[in-house]
């Protein structure tokens, strides 16, 4: 094998590898974007479970628009929609914790012995 043949073979191999790696980059970006979207959906599920648990254990509920105050004995929790599109929990003067991101709309409605909660979330995948 001559030096020229070796250079040609190296060039062909480099071209093929560049094509393969170029085609894999969008697939990897899509995989990462879907993983982020799955993570956002999981955080939303956990926040809904937390809110449901608080409502099931509530001794008193005051629901108004996008804010709800839940009392469990001497402990009070307030959930509300922030301007940044977050469901936040206010436990008192020192705590204001984000519970879920990407909330487009939130409403609480107190019914006779129930509370209707409507959450509209936006999960961005990042894939174009």
CA distances from 3 to 9, 10, 88 (A): 10, 11, 68
Structural domains of the chain, count: 1
Residue 126: the pLDDT is: 56
Say if 127 falls within a structural domain.
no
The pLDDT, as a whole number, for residue 13 is 93
- Is 47 within 8 Å of 100 (Cβ atoms)? yes
With respect to residue 86, please indicate whether it lies within any of the assigned structural domains.
yes
Lowest mean pLDDT among 44-53, 78-87, 109-118: 109-118
Q: Domain for residue 64, yes or no?
A: yes
Residue at 114 is within a domain: yes
Locate the DSSP E strands across 1-128.
60-64, 67-72, 75-81, 87-90, 96-100, 103-110, 115-121
CA 52 to chain centre: 18
Closest CA to 33 of 21, 41, 44: 41
Q: What is the pLDDT of residues 36-72, one digit of tens each?
A: 788 888 888 888 898 889 888 888 888 888 899 999 8
- pLDDT recorded at residue 101: 84
Give residue 15's domain range.
Answer: 3-121
Q: Does residue 128 belong to any structural domain of this protein?
A: no
In a domain, 87, yes or no: yes
Calculate what percentage of the chain has a pLDDT beyond 70.
94
Let me know if residue 112 belongs to a domain.
yes
Q: Is residue 46 part of a domain?
A: yes
Burial of 20 (0-12, 13-18, 19+ CB in 10 A): exposed
């Amino acid at each position: 094998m001559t030096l020229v043949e070796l250079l040609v073979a190296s060039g062909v191999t480099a071209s093929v590898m560049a094509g393969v790696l170029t085609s894999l980059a969008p697939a990897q970006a899509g995989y990462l974007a879907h993983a982020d979207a799955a993570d956002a959906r999981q955080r939303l599920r956990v926040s809904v479970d937390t809110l449901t648990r608080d409502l099931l254990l509530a001794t008193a509920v005051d629901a108004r628009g996008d804010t709800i105050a839940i009392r469990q004995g001497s402990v009070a929790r307030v959930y509300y929609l922030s301007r940044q599109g977050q469901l936040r929990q206010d436990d008192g003067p020192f705590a204001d914790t984000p519970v879920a991101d990407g909330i487009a709309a939130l409403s609480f409605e107190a019914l006779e012995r129930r509370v209707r909660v409507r959450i509209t979330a936006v999960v961005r995948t990042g894939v174009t």
